[in-house]
Structure 1
């Protein structure tokens, strides 16, 4: 039987009774904390909701989430209920197939269902709960209907429908209850097209199980296994109540989705004044408790979201404030054996959260005024950014003179490790052409989001292979926002100091010290050439410090001789698609064009990568750019700085 963990962290009480029924609908294209209440181990990951922890070690993990507004399901004055339908996509993956979990369930329940922990040893007897479960326990592969408890009253095997719940593939389900027909049907499929034949059909009058207002959501459990349950999309609506007054329609936006309420005319019944008085009293009591809970919740939220910065406030959107002792314990006292990286900001440690067992990356700053400024800049920017190709910030800490950022852990480390590892040639082989092309698309998507889709434009200023992380599936995540600048759109930041990494800096940025989205595009172009060629931006030829090879110049030289394909990384041994290799090399050159106005936007780059636009015409000869005498850095300073950085990097390895 499916384990449902519905542990109440914070759910506002049901509102007082209203005098008219309502229909209700929402469609969340991108789920967020503003729309949902997350319970147990569930968390938001790149626009989807993971209900259980991602762990290769068998453990008990349970989580739930629900839409955080109560939805009208039943009108007691007319003794009629609504019909409803829902559509959602989910996936069940398992790092250790020999250690299955329980599966997941969609539920409709009143508030009382959230007052405890329900499992197979203590089954729920709540009559106001409906659950449609997708069960994987003990090798099961079925869909079941639970009403008033956790024992399925009807189930159906999904194997005849060519559906394997534990395949890891996205599965779409449709659930529909029709009040007039007293029937509930479930459809499921491996595509977004609704099948003609339902996988489960049952005839029940659910009106007697519905309360006036109910909550809808999902729950999942591993119960000693390693399954990871993810809800990728979800829409829901109620319908079918008679005499809806369409002239009084009102709607409200919620994040990227919306819900709409359509109230009918008030129903007046003078014979129920005593009942109304009781309802009014209960409503007042509910409001008092709601007010107290709201104040406590607001206090906790403000405490988590505010950090001091020289008398100013930095808003932290939904981040966890860690205690120093927690992070010290999680890193074994910041043990040197836990170090996984180092940069200008400080040192990065691998940590294990003692509460959840989740792997984390803790960035510990150097103790200086400059690093504190970088810390606060990074914190204020990335706290509000959410994209599947950005490294997700989990929390922060500012205690004992320490500045620490806590990120989700990227098990495969940084991209440069796979491109340039001299100690382990197998790393280069692991990063095949398909993964490399996916990296290019992922970072282009992240930069399109930063440049064009945020409320304020974000210029990263330090795009390089060591700042591109790879998750467990080799998906690219752009990280390290320590040098990023938050801008109003169409405004350029002026800087008296050039920041970033030599070899990735655009010529105009070196000349004027002014970072723009076009300077990010240049850095992206250099990274793309690295991905294609397996070469660093600036390399020393035959060990001679005064003989340097610039990657952009080298590739452009081959292109001018119609030998562009010769730039392909020899480590690939020819195992790549020639057309996509040439496409990516040309994108790299067009982005690394010395003339900034000739570089494409990141949205244009993404369209080319997705074959939605034709590649940009790249001149055979590299365009020349004339510098004036006031350039802050000479070319020799640049290449020597890059050479010294490479020598320093190798010695630290």
Structure 2
């Protein structure tokens, strides 16, 4: 019998099984927000402890976003057949730089789905316009636009919605002198008491709860709360500058009986009874029994000792292994799903070579088909579990906290059998470098609109990492092979193995220069100091690569001379013909002024002097025509250091034929 089974056997022999525990009341309180325990979807973002659900733009836009608490909430206890009551309190504001450009509003919702994200406009980020009955929810809407499609009473009302946006009951917020669009901080209380079958909504400009509710609905929600639910917020705009922010949030359920410990008597007697027969036996039989008893007396304890020794050895070994694994897991933030090794092994056909879709410094990437869920993933497998642990933890701990539409979604992870595995969402169009530099001449050609879209999406996600996270993230390895393309050619930034997380007011210093040659800023090569401006430099090189269709460092045809892409484009700029750098495969199918702007942005970001590079936020504004382009000198400025490095000193060809530092 295996030691684990033996232990289970002994426990079962000694104790009765306890009955299942009752559901417990849940509670949490966010006085300010961090990325921990929260999921941000769509355009929602975190800034200075406040969650913005829609985009902050000075020009009208369409936007939708969601904020969801990661852990599901128990609303029903099967043992007592009890539905929980709940109460929540949160403060929000709806600001608008243009008061005449209002709409559409925000909601507080309960949903069985932790990926609730709907369409912009009157759908309040809660419902998909194409599948209006797909999402199931119970929501309180704070609506700032009169939408006749949903029978709205006015443009300043509160309503109860269940599985559709036609409210069961609404109330005009002005009944309590509340203007939802005022920009002032508004505190809301939502209470549901199961015993009274009543839901009440209170609103106030102060933190004092009003004596009477604004909206009161007599309703039994027991039928809608028969399962675990996720709680959160959603908001949307359509052609509006309205900005929806959640400042704080507390939530709790009540009504479940407290769980009391139960004691059970042991079923094992503490004594044994020896029965002595009255029938006389012969001396030989007595002697035989004595010898047998002596043998058993010696062999029995010896056998028990051996079993216990083996069990102890195996248990200690397993305990050490579990301790090591727990130490690893303790370093991983909650959020992504933990896959079993068996699941991943089956999904990759035993890590078969035919499933390899990429290779990198971390290890191979495999296509994984999870038959049970019908999903496809991309599994990154570490080459060396011990050496790769730091990179594994770096990537997992960082990306698990991040939510942005231009990041590669992390589906889960696994740390079993000495393996370190990350499971990402599968990107149908592969990496950007494979598309820009296809092995076959008849490969897929990126159109000019796609290239512009990639430039905007990449600048958007870098602005998020640099300025919108609670702790600034410096990626340190931005290159086309780390940018994936989804089914619609949207860029998704991945590979956070070299990323570093830090406070905004601290400057990161790396003791080891890491990254890919051609994308590395001069000061990073010289001093090993990574900042947001080193990421901006890498972004500039990527933009030039996207516009020109050339690698950062290439050998001239029929020559061994190395050509630097930044130098080549800057030379054409000095000659007044920068658009000659455009990818010849486009056959001139682009607007010359747009091409010029993108190339100049690339050069300004790849400026040798980090102080002269724009912030990534400024780049995004330029791309969105919200700011004027930056003037780029005709001649590339020179930069001197205390000692010099040459390309020959630091460039080497790796096994994939790429130049790396």
TM-score range for the pair, normalised by the shorter chain length: 0.5 to 0.7
Q: Is the contact made by 1:316 and 1:380 (CA closer than 8 Å) also made in structure 2?
A: yes
Alpha-carbon separation, structure 2, partners of 1:454 and 1:589? 27
Candidates 346, 369, 390, aligned match of 2:386: 369
Query: Residue 227 of structure 1 corresponds to which residue in structure 2?
Result: none
RMSD: 4.2
The 5 Å alignment of 1:124-273 reads: 174-178=165-169, 210-211=219-220, 233-234=234-235, 256=246
The answer to whether residue 577 in structure 2 is matched with residue 540 in structure 1 is no
Judged with a 3 Å threshold, the aligned counterparts in structure 2 of structure 1 residues 611 and 479 are, in CA distance, closer, same or farther, namely: same
Correspondence list, 1:284-433, <5 A: 285-288=256-259, 308=325, 313-428=330-445, 431-433=446-448
Q: What's the TM-score, normalizing by structure 2?
A: 0.59
**Alpha-carbon contact 1:308-1:314 (below 8 Å) kept:** no
Maintained 8 Å contact 1:307/1:313: no
Distance in 1 between the 2:470 and 2:587 partners?
44
Deviation at 1:10, TM superposition (A): 5.0
String of CA shifts for 1:4-42, please: whole Å, max 9, x gaps.
Answer: xxxx97533488779xx999998999xxxxx87663xx4
Superposed CA deviations along residues 47-90 of structure 1, whole A, max 9, x for unmatched, are 8369xxxxxxxxxxxxxxxxxxxxxxxxxxxxxxxxxx984554
Q: In 2, Cα distance between the equivalents of 1:463 and 1:359?
A: 25
Residue number in structure 1 paired with 2:615: 601
Find the aligned partners of 1:324 and 1:407 in 2 and give their Cα distance.
15
- Kindly provide the CA deviation profile for residues 80-116 of structure 1, in whole angstroms up to 9, marking residues without a partner as x: xxxxx984554366xxxxxxx894255549xxxxxxx
Q: How far apart in 2 are the matches of 1:572 and 1:581?
A: 11
Quote the Cα distance in structure 2 between the aligned partners of 1:620 and 1:17.
68
**Partner-residue secondary structure (3-state), 1:442:** helix
Match of 1:523 in 2: 538
Q: Which stretch of the first structure deviates more once superposed, 547-556 or 352-361?
A: 352-361
Residue 48 of structure 1 is aligned with which of 117, 140, 153? 117
> CA separation in 1, counterparts of 2:468 and 2:150?
41
* Unaligned ranges ≥5, structure 2: 1-70, 77-81, 96-107, 140-148, 152-163, 173-198, 200-215, 237-243, 261-322
CA distance in 2, matches of 1:516, 1:180: 51
Distance 1:351 1:408 in 2: 10
1:299 aligns to what? none
Structure 1 unaligned blocks of 5 or more: 1-7, 30-34, 51-84, 94-100, 110-142, 146-172, 182-205, 220-230, 236-253, 262-281, 290-305
Indicate the residue corresponding to 2:128 in structure 1. 91
Q: Secondary structure at the match of 2:372?
A: coil
The offset of 1:542, in angstroms, is: 1.6
DSSP-derived class of the 2:498 partner: coil
For 1:518, what is the secondary structure of its paired residue? helix
* 1:376 Cα deviation after fit: 1.1
* Deviations, residues 583-632 of structure 1 (Å, cap 9, x unaligned): 11010000000001000011111111111100111111100001222x5x
Q: Take 2:73 and 2:361, find their aligned partners in 1: how far apart are those partners?
A: 40
What is the number of residues matched between the two proteins? Answer: 437
Aligned partner of 1:505 among 497, 520, 526: 520
Q: TM-score, normalised by structure 1?
A: 0.59
CA offsets per residue over residues 143-162 of structure 1, 9 Å max, x none?
999xxxxxxxxxxxxxxxxx
Provide the C-alpha distance between the structure 2 equivalents of 1:499 and 1:218, rounded to a whole number of angstroms.
48
2:514, 2:90 → 1: CA distance? 51
Matched residues in 1 for 2:135 and 2:509: separation?
53
Can you list the C-alpha shifts for 1:183-203, whole angstroms capped at 9, x where unaligned?
A: xxxxxxxxxxxxxxxxxxxxx
